Every structure is written in C-alpha cells, then in structure tokens.
Chains A and B, each alone.
Chain A
Amino acid sequence: DSGVTQTPKHLITATGQRVTLRCSPRSGDLSVYWYQQSLDQGLQFLIQYYNGEERAKGNILERFSAQQFPDLHSELNLSSLELGDSALYFCASSVVGRGDQETQYFGPGTRLLVL
C-alpha cells in the first residue's frame, strides 16, 4: 500500500458526460501528479500540482482540468467524455515534487469506461 488513495475504483459513464476523480496524497506529500494509462499510449503525464498551485502540464486535454485543495487532496475533472478517454487514471504524490531523486508514489488508479 503506497499511502495514496483514489476514488472511485471504477467508473462507467456515457459519452458527453462529466466525471470527477479524487486523490488523497500520502501524509506529508505536497505534490500531486495525474497520469493517464491506456493500452496504446502507455502512462502519460497529465498535470502536476504543488501545495495547491499548478506546477507543470503534460499531455492534458482542454476538456480535462484539475485542482489541489488546501487539505492537499486533488480532483481531476473530465468533461465532454469521449470513447477514447476510457483508461486507467493514476494519481501519484511526492514530498516536494522535484522529480530528481524523489520517488513518486502511485495510487491504485481509477478505471474509467466511457460507453
């Protein structure tokens, strides 16, 4: 158990809908990362937050947004969902988010299926 929690574990929804994925980082970790994992693309970095502020953006679509709250939990909002958004969404956390020589701890993921 990494100490990172994600809810829900599974989510089934329809095209055009909007969903919110939630992540609680490990106690003491200030940085949260969101990743998307699909069979054809592998694990793709979406966005990073550090202590409530956006730090870095990766391959995140404009239909997707995220935020980190004062209690450091984070939410990833996915809107106008398309079939291709079906994937595993992982949250990871680290202490200060410097990347080098710092471990990112991954949560168990949310499996999203868009029908």
Chain B
Amino acid sequence: QKEVEQDPGPLSVPEGAIVSLNCTYSNSAFQYFMWYRQYSRKGPELLMYTYSSGNKEDGRFTAQVDKSSKYISLFIRDSQPSDSATYLCVGGAGSYQLTFGKGTKLSVIP
C-alpha cells in the first residue's frame, strides 16, 4: 500500500462548482501535510500547508486534515477553469522527507 493514496480522476466539474479532493495516508509519522498543484508540463507548486488536524483556509481553498482517520481534503470554492490541474497530496515527516500521492486530475469546464 502506498503511503499516500489519491483517486487519480479525472474529475470534471462545471465552472463555479465546489470541488472536493481527497487523500488518505497510512504513515502515522507524517507531521505535516501539503497540497501541491501541477499544471500540465510544469513543475508542482505549493498551494496549501497544514501542520495539524483541523481546517486551514486561503481564499477559495480550504485544506482539512483529520489525523484520527488519516484523511486529508482540499476544497475549492467557486472553481475556475484556471484551477484545471493535477492536485498532489503530500505527507511530510522529519526535516526533509516528503511523500507525494500520485495526484488527482481536475478539469473545470467553462
């Protein structure tokens, strides 16, 4: 079992929809979690960072971590075509080791 699991999609939604991207993890040593966004033919870029259980909001994006169930979510409100990308869920342990999920591909249709 991979340490970080994501549904690969693709997930297609109409513009303006609320998007829910989900991720589960198995490594109890993960101390912090990130969501990276990767556009086609580009490198990943950090979108959200969370260190503890609970919610963190940044504009239209909300990251949610439930350590008891090892479940991570990213919500995108009022989705835009520019949100079309692959979203990578990441678990972090220690000072450098990041474990990436395979990503969920999202398409927001105008």
Identify A100's interface contact among B41, B46, B92, CB under 8 A: B92
Considering the complex, give the chain B residue whose CB is closest to the CB of A98.
B95
Considering the complex, give the chain B residue whose CB is closest to the CB of A55.
B96
**Residues of B close to A56: CB separation below 8 A:** 96-97
Nearest-neighbour CB distance to chain B for A57, whole angstroms, equals: 10
A44 to B94, CA, bound (A): 17
- Tell me whether B92 and A90 are in contact (CB under 8 A): no
- Tell me whether A97 and B44 are in contact (CB under 8 A): no
Q: A2-B45, A104-B46, A106-B44 are in contact. Are A43 and B100 (CB under 8 A)?
A: yes
**Residues of B close to A100: CB separation below 8 A:** 31-32, 51, 92, 94-95
Nearest-neighbour CB distance to chain B for A114, whole angstroms, equals: 19
Interface size on B, residues (CB 8 A): 23
- Tell me whether A106 and B45 are in contact (CB under 8 A): yes
A10 to B37, CA, bound (A): 22
Residues from 85 to 104 in B contacting A, C-beta threshold 8 Å:
88, 92, 94-103
Residues from 44 to 62 in A contacting B, C-beta threshold 8 Å:
44-45, 48, 55-56, 58
**Residues of A close to B45: CB separation below 8 A:** 2, 105-106
For the complex of A and B, the 7 pairs showing the least CB-CB separation, nearest first, are A106-B43, A42-B102, A43-B100, A99-B96, A99-B95, A98-B95, A103-B46
- Tell me whether A107 and B95 are in contact (CB under 8 A): no
Whether, in the assembled complex, A78 has its beta carbon less than 8 Å from a beta carbon of chain B, the answer is no
A37 to B41, CA, bound (A): 12
- Tell me whether A45 and B98 are in contact (CB under 8 A): yes
**Residues of B close to A31: CB separation below 8 A:** 96
- Tell me whether A101 and B32 are in contact (CB under 8 A): yes
- Tell me whether A2 and B43 are in contact (CB under 8 A): yes
Whether, in the assembled complex, A4 has its beta carbon less than 8 Å from a beta carbon of chain B, the answer is yes
**Residues of A close to B2: CB separation below 8 A:** 42
- Tell me whether B32 and A42 are in contact (CB under 8 A): no
Q: A97-B96, A99-B97 are in contact. Are A4 and B31 (CB under 8 A)?
A: no
